[in-house]
């Protein structure tokens, strides 16, 4: 841990600012990362970013398949194209996390933080829409009144259940990445400690001034009680 300091004087008061930097070590095998980004790397942004990209790809693939198979069966999630826009959003968030992990820049961390916050909020909305879609129809009613749509209903329900599970995963991954990104952005690489030193107004090594100070102190001292008492 290295300590540097600066001193400034304001009259009889001297203020010393000491900057205590965080310990920093690096080796040839592991290149040094900027100290403010060390907290971000503890969250494994590369692994989380790859996970988000895979989740987004699955969302897009299943969403396209559902749009082709379930065209005759209306669901709330499909009507607003949840798998499409959520999959694209997850891929963008994951790509930013991977870029921030490979190229440590504070701007990329900020971009990853913002996108993961948006992804976590929209993932929560997507989970609600998927849950509503799962409860829209009853299996017995669909297969009894619309037997031609029974297989389509089963495939759609299975796909929505898979999308719901992946959305749960994306929700927690986004929150985790955003949490480490927030800790990185709000973290300082050094702390400042201010030390205030009060200096003496009169130097003690000046005999004449010290004598005058002592005389003034004696003159200001009230006389003893016996000198004031009357016989």
Query: Could you please report the per-residue DSSP string of 161-188?
Result: HHHHHHHHHHHHHHHHHHHHHHHHHT--
Confidence at residue 90, expressed as pLDDT on a 0 to 100 scale: 94
Per DSSP, the three-state class of 88 is helix
pLDDT tens track, the chain, 231 positions:
555 555 555 555 555 555 554 444 444 444 455 555 666 667 688 888 999 999 999 999 988 888 777 666 677 888 888 999 999 999 999 999 898 888 878 888 888 889 999 999 999 999 999 998 888 766 556 666 767 667 777 778 888 899 999 999 999 999 988 888 787 777 544 333 444 444 555 555 555 554 555 555 445 555 555 554 454
Containing 41, the helix (H) or strand (E) segment is helix 38-41
Confidence at residue 63, expressed as pLDDT on a 0 to 100 scale: 86
Cα separation of 22 and 41, whole Å? 16
Cα separation values, 17 from 28, 124, 191, Å? 34, 47, 10
The pTM score is 0.61
Confidence at residue 183, expressed as pLDDT on a 0 to 100 scale: 78
Q: Which of 129, 126, 106 is nearest to 55 (CA)?
A: 126
Domain boundaries, the chain: 51-187
């Amino acid at each position: 841990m290295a300590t540097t300091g600066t001193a400034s004087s304001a009259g009889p008061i001297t203020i010393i600012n000491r900057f205590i930097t965080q310990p920093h070590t690096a080796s040839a095998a592991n290149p040094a990362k900027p100290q403010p980004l060390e907290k971000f790397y503890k969250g494994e942004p590369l692994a989380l970013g790859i996970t988000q990209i895979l989740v987004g790809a699955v969302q897009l693939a299943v969403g396209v398949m559902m749009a082709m198979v379930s065209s005759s069966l209306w669901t709330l999630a499909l009507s607003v194209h949840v798998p499409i826009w959520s999959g694209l959003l997850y891929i963008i968030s994951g790509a930013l996390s991977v870029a921030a992990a490979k190229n440590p820049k504070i701007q990329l961390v900020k971009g990853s933080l913002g996108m993961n916050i948006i992804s976590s909020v929209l993932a929560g909305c997507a989970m609600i829409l998927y849950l509503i879609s799962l409860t829209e129809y009853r299996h017995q009613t669909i297969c009894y009144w619309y037997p031609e749509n029974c297989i389509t209903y089963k495939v759609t329900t299975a796909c929505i259940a898979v999308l719901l599970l992946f959305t749960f995963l994306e929700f927690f991954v986004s929150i985790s990445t955003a949490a480490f990104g927030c800790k990185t952005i709000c973290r300082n690489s050094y702390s400042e400690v201010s030390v205030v030193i009060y200096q003496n107004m009169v130097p003690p090594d000046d005999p004449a001034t010290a004598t005058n100070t002592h005389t003034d102190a004696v003159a200001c001292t009230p006389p003893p009680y016996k000198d004031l008492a009357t016989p």
